[in-house]
Chains A and B, each alone.
Chain A
Amino acid sequence: MLRKALLISPEICIGCRGCQIACKEWNNLPADETKNEGTLENPSDLTPNLYNKVRFIEVPSETTPLRWLFVSQRCMHCDDAGCITICPAPGALFKTKEGAVAYDKDKCIGCKLCASACPFNIPRFDKNDKISKCHLCSDRISEGLSPACAKTCPTGAIRYGQRDEIISNSQKEGYEKLYGQADLGGLGVLYAFKDAPKIYGMDEQPAVPETVLLWHNVLKPLSYLGLGGAVAASLLHYIAFKPKKDEEDK
């Protein structure tokens, strides 16, 4: 099957957050208790109960009081997915035939290594420490439907389709290169940006942290050599997170 993808176009997003709500409805995610914290952007970050949120970004402008950008944030469904690479629990994280990075909570061991390997800071963990994130509505797309977010978007700011078609159509519309077109083996969520990605709050060149992959290559085989998965994972976890923590302490 040809790879599927989402195309997100902040230029036509009106920040209505229909996608944010539709996602929660389809995936049966309960509401979190929130407070107003000086912005319409709420909840302030992705949570185990929030797979997709619209970020409201204010950029200074010379012609208007500001430039107000609305950007949907969620799992990018990388082809070269660091989370799958590092996951020590067989079958917990996997790729669907459409190219979505999905997961099986029953197989997740709660090691949280995937979080360390994600260049986009996406995986969240529920109260049982099981991974929680956008899975591109894998239950919908496997039946030929579009994800809830794309289905509900009133302006077409989130579109779902064949990845190669999305890319060629965007080229016709004047987008030379989409964000995510080539990064990490090609992302499953592509963005049509008019300006530098950093204006939209995105890394110019997203990459899986090298140290994580290095240690993974050394240690993951250990689990297959008889060392229990959980033990290997905790070791890995130490290695992956410790250096980071030291950095923060500085």
Chain B
Amino acid sequence: MTNHWIDVKNSDVILVMGGNPAENHPVSMKWIMNAKEKGAKLIVVDPRFTRTAAKADIYASIRSGTDIAFLGGMIKYILDNKLYFREYVVNYTNASYLVNPEFKMPGELDGVFSGYDPAARKYDKKTWSYQLDENSIPKKEPALKDPNCVFRLLKKHYSRYTLDTVSAITGTPKEKLIEVYKAFSSTGKPDRAGTELYAMGWTQHTVGTQNIRAMAIIQLLLGNIGIAGGGINALRGESNVQGSTDHGILFHILPGYLPAPTATLSDLKTYIEKHTPKTKDPKSVNWWGNRGKYITSYLKAIYGDKAAKDNDFGYAWLPKLDEGMNASWLMLFDHMLKGKFDGFFAWGQNPACSTSNANKVRKALSKLKWMVNVNLFDNETGSFWKGPGMNPKDIQTEVFQLPACSCVEKEGSITNSGRLAQWRYKAIEPIGQTKPDSEIMNELYFRVKRLYQRHGGKFPEPILNLSWRYGTKDSDGRIKKVDTHLAAREINGYYLEDIYDKTADPPKLIGKKGELCTNFVTLQADGTTSCGNWIYSGSYTQKDGKVINMMARTKKSDPTGLGLYPKWAWCWPLNRRILYNRASVDPKGMPWDIKRGVIKWSLTKLNPQTNKPGIWEGDVPDGPAPPMADEKAGKYPFIMRPDGMGAIFGPGLADGPFPEHYEPLECPLSENPMSKKQRINPTVKLFYTDKNSLAEDIYANNDSRYPIVATTYRVTEHWQTGVLSRHIPLLLETVPQQFVELSKELAKEKGIKNGDKVNVASLRGKVWAVAFVTERFKPFKIMGKTVHQIGMPYHFGWQFPEDGSAGDSANLLSPTIGDANTMIPETKAFMVNIEKA
């Protein structure tokens, strides 16, 4: 989230698209209803009339996988009707930048941007560049009239997204489109705020990243980023998924969003050089310019004294990806099926149900020599060898089940969607032989280390050199009990030497050797500080010698009245509750909307740092520098961007600087109505290309055998693949079995009655379900033809309840294909058929 949960109450218009907060984040509805009470409008755009839609002021239906068309139409509406926030757009975004005249767009090039290589399915991004001045700073044209400026290109690109075209693609009636566009773009005024709430309904598409980009463009045009009641807010679907992302759970990042090293970046210097953006613009903060401090401090945290200047701080011991290597989730199972893995740890997960094309995953697991399943309960993954269609005699995989304890049986931090890290205490001791994950990891570490010590190995350093300071060690070097506080302190970081601010005269002591770091501003690139995750630096700190766990704070004061609650727990970065908040003020530092001022530049007070008048009040600002209008010291608002500007033109992504509508891998159309030659995202990795491809990866497009659009989702009463919720009888009582929601019209065509048992099938699998025949789904009119859509939850699995009464996962139906940038699987739009069982 750019903002945070409570902040939704400050909105005037709340757009829920790609998410379903009432069912998947019910507590958030407190703040949505609170905003509504004060007159806010709630808009819900969803293929299905959800429990959130039941509370909406405006509901618009949309065919799954067509969000960019819908949002592209909104961009056009905002531009055509001049509803954008001009001062914000000109000052705080790259709208005025002049783009390379060679840059061409899909309207000119049959559906692709300039530089496309069809054989490699990749772009050469040479033309996706700016015209630079003599200092290598992009040339600007603030009147926004130059045909090559970002603003004009944006207008040209989305001129193709007319109401007729958008309606024909999305199936949303034209008058509904206008109603939504009008309501949301009313927030383009300085005193209005609009927010967007999304979740997997936007990400799990082959164009997932671009769905969010499209909204980012809208929010920048309307001046909704940085302000209270604004932003783009990802509703995280697990209580700590934000925390696990922050701490580097994904293959392409280390903790704190440091890029995973690749083999060609052979030493630390090369790594830092490659991953540290530069700018010559003195007004740009370019915060990622600090990359070297963060990676060095990270290496010092994990390798301790073993990491020294003369051994490159142990950079060589970090695992490296091969250049261009795709180590994403879908690829893991692809390689596993091809026999490239011996073993697999399924830790707190259930891929046999959670992963798209789950039959492929189940088959892949059978190629393993061993698997360790760490979970609270056995599940479809641990027991895959006795699942449907499996013959245990033929499967050689040895499975180990390690019982983990639950979240209430251990202590530690948990980070919610609003980046708020809260400390959670242990309520009871772990039951039976279960252990906290940290204890299981600790034991595993110790034993692997001992094997290396006794028998050597090809590359023992990454294990042997880990500092692993999470508790008291016995004579064997084994930690008896992991202390999560020590892990939290390592994450925060320590001063390893006395640290001086050398810009001061005389140099001023800012960090005392052995103490916890104040925050990441004091981290160093020379190995004199350690920090396990720079964005969490400041979460467990020391003041006047006293250690403070900032995440455990519980003060309920709210000085701004905006619900920031700055002394409740701790939020990264630096306890800043609203990101990009320097964009919430005008270039002189006054809030665009004084009633909702997040920060304010106050000239009546003396700044203790500079000894001059001028200090920021309110939330922790995005940097202490004076506002942008200050000629000498002023800074641009978007500090994480090398140029300091919000990116309307986004050349960093794989599939284009502007989002373009492409159809899902499986769709009901033979071609893309937007550009006939490019049906799907031209840069996605295709798994099924010809008859030599894996049969499991097959897909069916515009295939009369599978004419119905399908999507998957969750219900309030269950959680993820249901491993936790299916074992709770009270929850199973409320939603006991797999179901499929379908329209009355489709039910009539298929002779299906409400409550009938039906089979839903794709080219890859078949699942039975109980039919919910409902008005909540309506047939769409797509390019003149009637298209039906259905939806199913993915909470169920064959393994529990043990009598099989709940059914199996809806992910048996979905395809193996991922987003072009993230490889997140496309489970929210694929094609099926439905028949009475």
Which residues of A approach B to under 8 Å, CB–CB?
12, 14-18, 20-21, 24-25, 30-40, 42-43, 58, 64-70, 154-156
Contacts and interface: CB of A to CB of B under 8 A. Distances in A.
Contacts of B59: 64-65
Given A15-B22, A35-B736, A36-B735, 16 more contacts: A14-B52, A15-B51, A16-B716, A17-B717, A18-B26, A31-B729, A31-B733, A36-B736, A36-B772, A39-B754, A65-B49, A65-B775, A65-B776, A68-B51, A70-B54, A156-B30
B49 A36 contact: no
A78 to B, nearest CB: 28
Contacts of B770: 35-38
A38 B29 contact: no
Main secondary structure on B side of the interface with A: mixed
A42 B33 contact: no
A15 B730 contact: no
Contacts of A58: 774-775
A65 B60 CA distance: 10
A39 B772 CA distance: 6
A66 B739 contact: no
A38 B49 contact: no
A47 to B, nearest CB: 10
Nearest to A22: B730
B53 interface: yes
B698 interface: no
Contacts of A35: 736-737, 770
B40 to A, nearest CB: 13
A66 B775 CA distance: 7
A139 B27 CA distance: 26
Most buried by B among A15, A30, A58: A15
B567 interface: no
Contacts of A32: 733
A14 B29 contact: yes
A150 to B, nearest CB: 14
Contacts of A21: 730-731, 734
Nearest to A54: B734
A30 B22 contact: no
A32 to B, nearest CB: 6
B814 interface: no
A12 B29 CA distance: 9
Contacts of B772: 36, 38-40
Interface in B770-817: 770-776, 778
Nearest to A31: B729
Contacts of B735: 36, 40, 42
Q: How large is the interface on B (under 10, 10 to 19, 20 to 34, 35 or more residues)?
A: 35 or more
B599 to A, nearest CB: 30
Interface in B629-688: none
Nearest to B771: A38
Given A16-B22, A34-B736, A40 B715 contact: yes
Most buried by A among B33, B755, B771, B772: B33
Most buried by A among B23, B733, B772: B733
Nearest to B753: A38
Contacts of A69: 54
B49 A64 contact: yes
A81 B91 CA distance: 68
Contacts of B773: 38
A30 B736 contact: no
Most buried by B among A25, A43, A66: A66
B54 A68 contact: yes
B109 to A, nearest CB: 39
Interface string B30-68: 100100000000000000010111111001010000000
Nearest to A63: B59
Nearest to B50: A68
Contacts of A156: 30, 33
A79 B53 CA distance: 37
B716 A65 contact: no
10 contacts: A35-B737, A36-B735, A36-B737, A36-B738, A40-B772, A42-B735, A65-B61, A65-B776, A68-B49, A70-B54
Contacts of A43: 733
A228 B45 CA distance: 65
A70 B23 CA distance: 13
Contact of B732 (A18, A31, A39): A31
A42 B755 CA distance: 13
A67 B716 CA distance: 19
B775 A34 contact: no
Contacts of B33: 12, 14, 155-156
A36 B755 contact: yes
A154 B729 contact: no
B49 A17 contact: no
Nearest to B773: A38
A201 B59 CA distance: 24
A44 B731 CA distance: 15
A18 B778 CA distance: 29
B26 A16 contact: yes
